Structure 1
Amino acid sequence: MAGFQTIPWRLISGVLGVMCLVLMATLGMLWKNSFTKPSIQPTPSPGPNLEPQKDSSCQKMWIGYQCNCYFISNEMKTWEESKDFCASKNSSLLQLQNEDELDFMNHIRRWYYWIGLSYNKKHSAWLWEDGSALSQTLFSFPQTVNIQNCIVYSPNKRFLNEPCRKEMRFICKQLI
């Protein structure tokens, strides 16, 4: 009678062993598939893509948008060092030219960034690096702007003035 009772347990353990092997094989296939790229390309979502563009004519780690390439730094530099870095990459600090570009910039991280706007004493005006005037219709400054400072931009369309020697992140812009 003792031998008769072991047969159901052998059957149960055999079934459980087979199930374990099937589950392990399934897990192995899922694991393998998780490390391979899907053959179906995702459809682009509306709005800007902030991933570096491989197919564009932008440098590695730059973001392509319309006819420009943008470099959004994680490194902290003074305004002058930021300007020099951008120049070394054949670009300039960000110059916002229209509402579309301003909306595009609102999708970046939540820090303040140096942009290419500073006070020109000779012209007694805030000018972009290329010498063009600031558009008052695109955005306005707070009333208390220190002309000794440089301008930082935040993705929520905020512009603040900070001492130019302060280290901040920065955005470079390059025309394609």
Structure 2
Amino acid sequence: MKASQTTPWNLISGILGVTCLLLMATMGILLKNLYSKQSIQRTFSPDAITELQKGSSCCSCPEKWIGDQCNCYFFSGELKTWKESRDFCASQNSSLLQIQNGEKLHFAISSTYYYWIGLSYHKERSAWLWEDGSTVSQDLLPLVQGLRKEKCVMYSSARSVLDEPCEEKYRFICERKLI
């Protein structure tokens, strides 16, 4: 008699167990999809990226690039030397970041990392020049005056620059101008 009474309870507990497993599997799939979408967003940069400025309807950037004001930016998670960074950007039809004024990156950098940018010292011209040959703007000039000329330049979210040996490996920012 006891065996027949426990059979319905065994059946009910089995059904409840299977139901719990199905609910847990469904929840796992939903969470995986939620977090994979967030991680795709964050692959643009290894850092937390602040809100992008709106109104950049002319941008059509490649995957993992951030569009802002008709330019595309790539924030590397990979560490490279300054030359390797410059070569990577060139292979992507872009260049290392060129900052014309202190406001340029207020939309994107919000971390403690420093990034290689496209500024270097040219001995022939005795001046700090961007990759395109242009000079540093007057509002950025005070930032670079204390830098050592034999080193390469990095930029941080604190709008500060740092000089480091060019052979050291750091993150970098590529910029692709669309207009």
1:163 matched residue in structure 2: 165
Which residue identity does 2:121 align to in structure 1?
Answer: Y
| Contact 1:116/1:128 (<8 A) preserved | yes
**SS of the counterpart of 2:100?**
coil
Q: Alpha-carbon deviations, 1:99-140, whole Å to 9, x = none?
A: 442212423x54322101112334433222222232343574
2:95 matched residue in structure 1: 92
Which residue identity does 1:146 align to in structure 2?
Answer: R
Which residue identity does 2:105 align to in structure 1?
Answer: L
**Post-superposition offset of 1:31:** 4.5
Name stretches of at least 5 consecutive residues in structure 1 with no aligned partner.
38-45, 50-55
Q: Taking structure 1 as reference, are residues 81 and 9 closer, same or farther at Cα in structure 2, changes over 3 Å only?
A: closer
Counterpart CA distance in 1 for 2:169 and 2:29 is 45
1:16 matched residue in structure 2: 13
1:48 matched residue in structure 2: 52
Q: Alpha-carbon deviations, 1:28-84, whole Å to 9, x = none?
A: 4445555668xxxxxxxx8129xxxxxx52233322222111122233333233223
Which residue identity does 1:160 align to in structure 2?
Answer: L
Counterpart CA distance in 2 for 1:164 and 1:21 is 59
Counterpart CA distance in 1 for 2:145 and 2:153 is 14
> Moved runs in structure 1, 4+ residues, more than 6 A?
none
1:67 aligned to 52, 70, 74, which one?
A: 70
Name stretches of at least 5 consecutive residues in structure 2 with no aligned partner.
35-49, 54-58
Which residue identity does 2:175 align to in structure 1?
Answer: K
Counterpart CA distance in 2 for 1:114 and 1:175 is 18
Q: Taking structure 1 as reference, are residues 174 and 148 closer, same or farther at Cα in structure 2, changes over 3 Å only?
A: same
**SS of the counterpart of 2:149?**
coil
**Post-superposition offset of 1:93:** 0.9
Which residue identity does 1:74 align to in structure 2?
Answer: G
Counterpart CA distance in 1 for 2:167 and 2:33 is 47
**Post-superposition offset of 1:10:** 4.2
Counterpart CA distance in 2 for 1:81 and 1:18 is 59
1:145 matched residue in structure 2: 147
Task: Give me the TM-score of the superposition, normalised by structure 2.
Answer: 0.67
Task: Give me the TM-score of the superposition, normalised by structure 1.
Answer: 0.68
| Contact 1:106/1:157 (<8 A) preserved | no
